Amino acid sequence: VIASNFPVVLASVAGHLLKGIGVTEASAFHAVESLIGGAVANMRETLPDDALTGPVMRGDAETVGKHMRALRPHPDAAEVYRVLSAAAVEIAQRRGVDPKKLAALAGMLRPVEDN
């Protein structure tokens, strides 16, 4: 289910978020499909840990913070973002990303009741 159903759920969530900011349904889901296709293509070439890209892999707390603020009106999507970003921090640790940057990210990504 995690590998087969949840990517579809994530695509739906992402597409509906884009629709919420005025992107047409067709354009939103085309964009999401393109992004997911790129991630899958990367995994065809290497292991998932090595295929991960994005703000957590860069240790980019500023971008993660912007994403979290943008998702505040969407608490369910914000929680999905938080949990999956925390998992990405674990991958980034294994990949040797700067521990100080990852500690800052981990602090941002704690559950609300822990902050």
Question: pLDDT tens for residues 58-110?
Answer: 999 999 999 999 999 999 999 999 999 999 999 999 999 999 999 999 999 99
Segment 49-64, tens digit of pLDDT:
999 999 999 999 999 9
Tokens 């349904």 belong to residue: 25
3-state secondary structure of 115: coil
Residue 76 and residue 38 share a domain: no
pLDDT score at 12:
97
- Structural domain span for residue 65: 52-115
Residue 113 and residue 65 share a domain: yes
Residue 35 and residue 1 share a domain: yes
pLDDT score at 112:
76
**C-alpha separations of 79 from 22, 42, 72, 84, 107 in Å:** 22, 26, 9, 8, 15
Residue 108 and residue 64 share a domain: yes
Segment 29-43, tens digit of pLDDT:
999 999 999 999 999
Residue 68: partners with Cβ closer than 8 Å, 6 or more residues away = 78, 81, 82, 108
Segment 9-23, tens digit of pLDDT:
999 999 999 999 999
CA 49/CA 108 separation, integer angstroms: 22
What 106-113 contacts at long range (C-beta under 8 Å, 24+ apart), as own/partner pairs, is 108/61, 108/64, 108/65, 108/68, 109/64, 109/82, 109/85, 111/82
Predicted TM-score of the model (pTM): 0.91
